[in-house]
A and B are shown apart, each in its own frame.
Chain A
Amino acid sequence: MAIEVRIPTILRTYTDGAKAVDASGATIEELIGDLEARHPGIKARLVENDKLRRFVNVYLNDEDVRFLGGLGTPVSDGDTVTVLPAVAGG
């Protein structure tokens, strides 16, 4: 089961420069676990204390997963997951 994950510029150091990679899993959490197995180090940039990092946005197709079920959001074959670091500052 392949889900396309779109990787932002700043995290492409983990994916050998790839803008999009495939991963699998039944939920966002499993998907991130699989990403970590393929691209070690990436998980810590997305997750902290078993939650999505506050300034990382993860979208399932067109929706922010925070408004769905967070890390527990189910994903299925053919979905696209997009990661974008929030643009923020003070």
Chain B
Amino acid sequence: MLTISRELVDRIIAHATADHPDEACGVIAGRAGVPERFVPMENAERSPTFYRFDSMEQFRVWREMDDNDEEPVVIYHSHTATEAYPSRTDVSYASEPGAHYVLYSTALAQFRSFRIVDGVIEEEDVKILEPGV
């Protein structure tokens, strides 16, 4: 299960909405599986059907996480014409077995989370922590 604050969910949705119709992507860094630090990334492909982190930006962000003892707890991206379910391409490039892969569909306003390990997709529940709760 992914447990995530309402604020972080809203930031993913806002990023996806702002970049629509291109796909938006980013990371939420954290410790012990708790997503905390929102890091929107450049989609180097600037495409409505593909995303790729800019290699130098990824290097900086991954090093920052390393220095802070953080991990990429969430890796998110948007789908802008299809449902929020990992595509074949998403599965073949999924390379962080510890991460929650969050997909947001701007077309369907769907927010879903998956584990993708060794080519196998497993959807998981999302628990959103409302402010003040």
**Residues of A with Cβ closer than 8 Å to B?**
8-10, 55, 57, 59, 62, 64, 66, 82, 84-90
- Ranked 5 nearest A-B pairs via Cβ: A90-B89, A85-B95, A89-B90, A88-B52, A90-B87
- For the complex, count residues of B whose C-beta is within 8 A of A: 28
Known: A8-B95, A9-B96, A10-B97. A89 touches B55 (CB 8 A): no
| Pairwise interchain contact A86-B58, C-beta atoms closer than 8 A | yes
**Residues of B with Cβ closer than 8 Å to A?**
25, 27, 41, 45, 49-53, 55-56, 58-59, 62-63, 75, 77, 86-90, 93-98
Question: Could you give 26 example pairs across A and B, Cβ below 8 Å?
Answer: A8-B95, A9-B97, A10-B95, A55-B93, A55-B95, A57-B58, A59-B59, A64-B55, A64-B56, A64-B59, A84-B55, A84-B58, A86-B52, A86-B53, A87-B25, A87-B27, A87-B58, A87-B95, A88-B52, A88-B53, A89-B86, A89-B87, A89-B89, A90-B51, A90-B88, A90-B89
